[in-house]
């Protein structure tokens, strides 16, 4: 797949707020692994190969592997996710597939049991941020082969 254009160089002011959101999330109390799971799950749903490759590598660098990574598409049936991770994954799926529906009160209550007010906002920003990145990368056909390069540039601690 050939990239259509480099959006970061074509319109750096357009993506600057997205990088600021990522910087905010890096300072939040959301666990790095939880953030990686959110990014992976949304990227799986959206079909963003670059983000999936990049955040998979990030999760591996954070010590995740095996069942917990491979099981993300079927997290409801798997026992190895904490209640907090389950709430985050359900929130991620709901917000990622929000078209034509609303966030139900019972889901909000389940997520709210696991996250503080500030963390609820951070989790929602995390879901929105990865959905933004997914849509940019899909629209402009950024290939997954660039995952290592992008990870090294924007997430140097997770790059190999």
pLDDT in tens, 108-129: 999 999 999 999 999 999 999 9
Query: How far apart are the two ends of the chain, measured CA to CA in Å?
Result: 24
At 14-48, the pLDDT tens digits run 999 999 999 999 999 999 999 999 999 999 999 99
Task: Tell me the pLDDT band of 2, cut-offs 50, 70 and 90.
Answer: confident
Name the average pLDDT for the chain.
Answer: 92
Q: Within 10 A of 122 (CB to CB), how many other CB atoms are there? A: 20
Residue 53 lies in a domain: yes
Residue 24 lies in a domain: no
Q: What is the pLDDT of residue 158?
A: 47
The domain tally of the chain equals 1
Q: Is 94 exposed, middle or buried (0-12, 13-18, 19+ CB in 10 A)?
A: middle
Residue 66 lies in a domain: yes
* Interval 56-71 mean pLDDT: 94
Residue 19 lies in a domain: no
Query: What CATH number should be reported for the domain holding residue 107?
Result: 1.20.1290.10
Please calculate the CA angle 101-103-108 and round it to the nearest 5 degrees.
Answer: 165
- pTM higher than 0.85, yes or no? yes
Q: Which one has a higher pLDDT value, 158 or 84?
A: 84
Residue 11 lies in a domain: no
Residue 15 lies in a domain: no
Q: Which residues form the domain of 91?
A: 31-154
Q: Which of 6-10, 31-35, 67-71, 85-89 has the lowest mean pLDDT?
A: 6-10
């Amino acid at each position: 797949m050939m990239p259509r254009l480099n959006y970061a160089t074509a319109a750096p002011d357009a993506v600057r707020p997205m990088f600021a959101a990522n910087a905010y999330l890096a300072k939040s109390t959301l666990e790095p692994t939880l953030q990686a799971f959110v990014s992976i799950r949304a990227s799986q749903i959206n079909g963003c190969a670059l983000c999936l490759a990049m955040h998979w590598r990030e999760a591996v660098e954070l010590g995740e592997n095996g069942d917990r990574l491979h099981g993300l598409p079927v997290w409801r049936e798997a026992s190895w996710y904490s209640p907090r991770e389950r709430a985050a994954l359900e929130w991620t799926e709901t917000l990622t597939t929000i078209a034509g529906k609303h966030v139900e009160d019972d889901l909000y209550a389940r997520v709210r049991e696991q996250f503080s007010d500030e963390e609820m906002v951070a989790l929602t920003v995390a879901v929105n941020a990865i959905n933004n990145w997914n849509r940019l990368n899909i629209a402009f056909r950024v290939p997954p082969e660039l995952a290592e390069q992008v990870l090294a540039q924007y997430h140097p601690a997770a790059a190999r």
